[in-house]
Each structure stands twice: as C-alpha cells, then as structure tokens.
Amino acid sequence: MNRLACLVVVIGMALPAFAQDARKSGFDYMGPDTQAMQKDDLANPGMLSVLEGETLWNTPTGKAQKSCAACHGDATQSMKGVAARYPAMDDKTQSAIDLAGRIIQCRVERQEAPAPQREGRELLSLSAFVGRQSRDMPISPPQDAKLAATRAQGAALYSARMGQLNFSCAQCHDDNAGGHLGAAPIPQAHPNGYPLYRLEWQSLGSLQRRFRNCMSGMRAEPFAAGSTEAIALEAFLMERAAGMKLETPAVRP
C-alpha cells in the first residue's frame, strides 16, 4: 500500500517534467541555414527592426515631446523580462492587454502621439526592441486569477473547429505537430519568438499576423489584430509555453 502510494507520487512528479521535454520551439523544426541566420545577430534581419526600435525608443515625440527613454530609462534594465509576462491584466480597463497594446497606450496617453498602426513598422520595431530585452528568458505568464477567463477563452478557440475546412488549431499543432503540411513542417505553435522575421513575409510580423496566416489557410475569418479573441489565443499559447525561452527576434521560414 505504502509502496503503491510512493509509486503514484513518483509518477505524479515525473509527468510534468516529461510533458515539458516534449515541447519544441519552432526553431527546432528549421533547417540549419535558417537556424544560423537567427543565431547570428549580424545576419538576422529582425535585428534591423530592433535597431530601428532603439532609435524610436530614444526619440521624443507627441505633444508631450517625451521619448520612451525619458520615462523608462535604460531599456536593458527597465524592459528586461517584460515581454515574457504579457498578455497581462490592464487595471484600468479590467481586460487583458498584449504588449503591443501596452506600447500603444504609452504612445497615446503618455506621449500624446497618434496611435501607431497594428502591424505598422513603428509598432513592430518598438515591440521587437522591447521583446529583445527578454531574449533567452523563460516565458513567465502572470499569476493573476483575473486572466483565467481569457486563457480559457483562448483554449476554447484553439480547439474549436473553424472555417470552410473545419479545422482546429489543435488538429495541426497538437495532433500533427512534427508532420508536414505540403513541404512545411508543422511546428507546435509556440509564441516564443515574436515579433519575428518570417522569410515568406520578407518582413517582421507579430504573433497575431501568424494567427491570421493560419486562419486564412483554414478558410476562417481571421481575428482582427488586438481583438479580444486574438489576445485570448495569445494568452493561452503563452501559458502553454510557460518556461520556454524567448527568442525575439526569431527567424522562421
């Protein structure tokens, strides 16, 4: 009896560790050339956006004529680990907010500048620069009970069948991860490299743009960038990838 209890405890402890080992970054599915491109900061085209983001960070703008640096100082200190814990709760609106949304908020409310466009160059560069400060840090979703509903919504969307092809995200990214769709390996859909440089896009793009790609492949109507649904999916995927290392700005095929 005692021995059995002991065995149950051992298995109980071993399982989460085993499940963790089964998770693979999209990086692991790439060819050696693309991996080398990501790893070399002087060959990774995402670094061009990081540099641009750094310039924007230090440039006063808006009616307030304040730069991001004027309030946040040295980003290598103040923004370290920040990207690893978004989406988070926004106390004011009592809803989940993604990192891009937080940057828009500072741009509009604190710099009194026009709201940057989602997927626009300005917001992507700033997000890449802020994200870069958390590179190699583990994804650490906030321990905030108020995010539970958002994550549950994301989990439901992830396994819901959608679109004319009647696929769910989970059918590809859980059931067939490691397989192929045409020539492309199907990754596990981890959000750990964004914003990232996708060779097919020939540019930097956000996680929500990636959702749009997969959803139009499913012939479903893509969630608008910054929508409740897109942020819920993001919050779910970040929780699912908790502990995995951020690679921002990653490169993907």
Partner 1 sequence: MARALINVPAKSKRGEIIEIKTLMSHPMETGFRPGMDGQLIPRDIIEKFVCTYNGEVVFSAQLHPAITANPFISFTTIATESGTLVFSWTDNKGETQVQTASIQVE
Identify which of 51, 42, 44, 15 has the alpha carbon closest to the alpha carbon of residue 27: 44
- Whole-number Å distance between alpha carbons of 94 and 99: 15
Q: What is the residue type of 139?
A: I
- Whole-number Å distance between alpha carbons of 167 and 159: 9
Q: Does 45 bind partner 1 (CB under 8 A)?
A: yes
- Whole-number Å distance between alpha carbons of 25 and 153: 23
Q: Does 232 bind ligand HEC (CB under 6 A)?
A: no
3-state secondary structure of 197: strand
Could you tell me which stretch among 13-21, 36-44, 144-152, 215-223 binds ligand HEC (CB under 6 A)? Answer: 215-223
Instruction: List beta partners, residue 190.
Output: none
- Whole-number Å distance between alpha carbons of 241 and 26: 12
Strands 180-181, 203-205: pairing is unpaired
Residue 144 beta carbon to partner 1: minimum distance, rounded to whole angstroms: 38
Nearer to ligand HEC, 40 or 60 (CB): 60
Q: Does 89 bind ligand HEC (CB under 6 A)?
A: no
Q: Does 126 bind ligand HEC (CB under 6 A)?
A: yes
Q: Does 224 bind partner 1 (CB under 8 A)?
A: no
Residue 80 beta carbon to ligand HEC: minimum distance, rounded to whole angstroms: 10
> Which residues participate in catalysis according to the annotation?
214
Q: Does 199 bind partner 1 (CB under 8 A)?
A: yes
Residue bearing tokens 């970040």: 238
Identify which of 85, 90, 55, 58 has the alpha carbon closest to the alpha carbon of residue 72: 58
Q: Does 51 bind partner 1 (CB under 8 A)?
A: yes
Q: Does 191 bind ligand HEC (CB under 6 A)?
A: yes
Residue 249 beta carbon to partner 1: minimum distance, rounded to whole angstroms: 12
- Taking CB under 6 A as the criterion, the residue among 97, 103, 225, 251 binding ligand HEC is 103
Strands 251-252, 203-205: pairing is unpaired
- Whole-number Å distance between alpha carbons of 24 and 60: 40
- Taking CB under 6 A as the criterion, the residue among 128, 204, 233, 251 binding ligand HEC is 233
Q: How far is CA 16 from CA 10, 221, 238, in A?
A: 11, 35, 17
Q: Does 231 bind ligand HEC (CB under 6 A)?
A: no
Residues of this chain that bind ligand HEC (CB under 6 A): 26, 66, 68, 70-72, 82, 102-103, 106-107, 110-111, 126, 130, 167, 169, 171-173, 181, 184, 186-187, 189-191, 193, 207, 210-211, 214-215, 217-218, 233, 252-253
Residues of this chain that bind partner 1 (CB under 8 A): 41-43, 45, 47-48, 51-52, 199, 202-203
